[in-house]
């Protein structure tokens, strides 16, 4: 049975030798044979091109004095791993180097910050100082922008909200519902009355105040800010500072601010508030503090205990009378009469 010559990739020449189906190209004596390649297959997504090595930088380091290299490495190790920069903050950055895609700037952190090269239209070189805004610090990578706008502002606000960092703003208008706020980058925001941290939110006197806010919510193009947590933190810090001015055993003038079943709350001259327990109001059995004092009374109290962690101040009125017994309290004051005023003699 005859065979179709086209079915065989080779054909016989005279002498019994097989001729190649594809004509061979002449090659050099030492050249390695190459396979005939078809269309290039697409690279796998996992295959990424290697970064271009900065041979010029490596060569420059190799030419440096070893002592200079050690000093440079020591400075890098001692530099802070993370800066205290926050999104939206204005910074002055010194240009370290200018690349084709980004500009590297020194902002005092371990790694340089970067600015998109497309933002800079004027000539710029290493050593120049530029004014910029922190765009983000995600993952320790500090990104700067020369003029935040559009999506850049949105990104800054989202990072500020997620990282619970503050943004600066000015009160532009007041109402019963809250404040109209102008943020540092010109973005309009709203602070609800319940988040303002003040009781007189509608007072026009707040207009023009520059304050710090947290970004509470981003609703489409609307920005909602809050001072609630900031005011609470400031109040805690102030209370701690006031308690730090006091010493156990010291005696102070105070004013009764409120009465409870278990005692009276009083405010000292430095603003610290504390409790005079029912048992420390007088040298007798007292069923209710109203038997001894009323709101607005000026009294003297002794500091019995200070709990800075809980911001708690325990005071005593009867103990202050004991301390003051040997002191002059003004014309007509009789310390012994003060001690014995509640003593009843049986007849």
Look at residue 35 and tell me if it is in a domain: no
Local structure of residue 119 (DSSP, 8 states): G
Tally: H helices and E strands in the chain? 6, 17
Of 34 and 74, the structure prediction assigns the larger pLDDT to: 74
Residues 255 and 323 in one domain: yes
Query: Which residue in this structure is represented by tokens 């000539």?
Result: 123
Residues 205 and 253 in one domain: no
For the ranges 21-30, 136-145, 259-268, which has the lowest average pLDDT? 21-30
What average pLDDT does the structure give for the chain? 75
**Domain stops at, among 153, 175, 193:** 153
Residue 185 has a pLDDT of: 66
CATH number for 111: 2.40.50.140
Residue 166 has a pLDDT of: 83
Residues 136 and 171 in one domain: no
Which neighbouring-strand residues pair with 119?
Answer: none
Strand pairing category for 129-136 and 143-145: antiparallel
Which neighbouring-strand residues pair with 192?
Answer: 178
Query: What pTM does this model have?
Result: 0.48
Residues 96 and 141 in one domain: yes
Q: What is the pLDDT of residues 202-233, one digit of tens each?
A: 999 999 999 999 999 988 778 999 999 999 98
Residues 107 and 142 in one domain: yes
Q: DSSP for 6-65?
A: GGSS-EE-TTSPEEPSSPPPP--TTPPP-PPP-SPPPPPTT--PPPPP-HHHHHHHHTS-
Residues 149 and 170 in one domain: no
Residues 173 and 147 in one domain: no
Domain count, the chain: 3
**Domain stops at, among 99, 121, 153:** 153
- Rounded Cα distance between 284 and 266, Å, is 20
What is the domain extent for residue 109? Answer: 90-153
- Rounded Cα distance between 204 and 190, Å, is 16
Look at residue 296 and tell me if it is in a domain: yes
Cβ-based neighbour number of residue 322 at 10 Å: 15
Residues 212 and 285 in one domain: no
List phi, psi (to 5°) of 267.
-115, 130
- Rounded Cα distance between 243 and 238, Å, is 9
Residues 132 and 204 in one domain: no
Cβ neighbours of residue 36 closer than 8 Å, sequence gap 6 or more: 22
Residues 209 and 280 in one domain: no
CB 312 within 8 A of CB 299: no
Residue 208 has a pLDDT of: 93
Look at residue 32 and tell me if it is in a domain: no
What are the Cα distances from residue 265, in Å, to 217, 234, 278, 282, 307? 38, 22, 11, 15, 16
**Domain stops at, among 153, 175, 206:** 153
Residues 145 and 170 in one domain: no
Residues 261 and 315 in one domain: yes
Closest residue by Cα to residue 145 from 216, 89, 81, 78: 89
- Rounded Cα distance between 258 and 109, Å, is 52
CB 255 within 8 A of CB 269: no
- Rounded Cα distance between 265 and 255, Å, is 9
161 alpha-carbon distance from chain centroid: 9
3-class SS of residue 97: strand
Look at residue 218 and tell me if it is in a domain: yes
Q: Strand runs (DSSP E) across 142-232, as ranges?
A: 143-145, 166-175, 178-183, 188-192, 210-219, 222-226
- Rounded Cα distance between 246 and 266, Å, is 15
Length of the chain: 347
Q: What is the mean pLDDT of residues 125-151?
A: 79
Look at residue 10 and tell me if it is in a domain: no
For the ranges 279-283, 302-306, 321-325, which has the lowest average pLDDT? 321-325
List phi, psi (to 5°) of 6.
-70, -15
Q: What is the pLDDT of residues 60-97, one digit of tens each?
A: 667 777 777 677 666 655 555 445 777 767 788 888 88
Look at residue 284 and tell me if it is in a domain: yes
- Rounded Cα distance between 95 and 90, Å, is 16
Look at residue 187 and tell me if it is in a domain: yes
pLDDT higher than threshold 60 for residue 325 = no
Of 126 and 186, the structure prediction assigns the larger pLDDT to: 126
Look at residue 259 and tell me if it is in a domain: yes
Residue 176 has a pLDDT of: 93
């Amino acid at each position: 049975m005859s065979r179709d010559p086209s079915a065989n990739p080779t054909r016989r020449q005279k002498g019994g030798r097989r001729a190649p189906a594809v004509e061979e190209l002449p090659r050099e004596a030492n050249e390695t044979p190459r396979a005939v390649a078809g269309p290039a297959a697409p690279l796998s997504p996992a295959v990424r091109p290697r970064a271009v090595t900065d041979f010029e930088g490596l060569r420059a380091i190799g030419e440096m004095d070893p002592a200079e290299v050690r000093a440079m490495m020591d400075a890098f190790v001692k530099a802070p791993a993370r800066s205290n920069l926050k999104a939206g903050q204005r910074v002055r950055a010194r240009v370290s180097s200018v690349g084709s895609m980004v500009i590297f700037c020194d902002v005092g952190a371990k790694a340089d910050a970067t600015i998109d090269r497309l933002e800079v239209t004027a000539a710029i070189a290493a050593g120049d100082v530029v004014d910029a805004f922190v765009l983000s610090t995600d993952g320790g990578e500090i990104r700067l922008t020369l003029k935040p706008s559009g999506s850049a502002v949105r990104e800054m606000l989202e990072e500020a909200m997620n990282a619970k960092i503050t943004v600066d703003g000015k009160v532009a208008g007041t109402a019963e519902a809250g404040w109209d706020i102008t943020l540092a980058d010109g973005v309009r925001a709203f602070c609800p009355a319940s988040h303002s941290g003040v009781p007189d939110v509608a007072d026009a006197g707040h207009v023009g105040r520059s304050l710090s806010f947290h970004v509470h919510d981003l609703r489409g193009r609307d920005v909602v800010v809050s001072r609630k947590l900031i005011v609470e933190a400031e109040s805690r810090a102030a209370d701690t500072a006031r308690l730090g001015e006091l010493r156990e055993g010291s005696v102070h003038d105070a004013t009764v601010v409120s009465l409870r079943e278990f005692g009276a709350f009083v405010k000292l001259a430095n603003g610290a508030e504390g409790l005079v327990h029912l048992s420390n109001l007088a040298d007798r059995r007292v069923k209710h503090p109203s038997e001894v004092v009323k709101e607005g009374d000026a009294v003297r109290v002794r500091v019995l205990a200070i709990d800075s962690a809980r911001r708690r101040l325990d005071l005593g009125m009867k103990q202050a009378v004991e301390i003051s017994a040997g002191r002059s309290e003004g014309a007509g004051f009789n310390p012994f009469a003060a001690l014995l005023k509640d003593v009843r003699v049986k007849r």
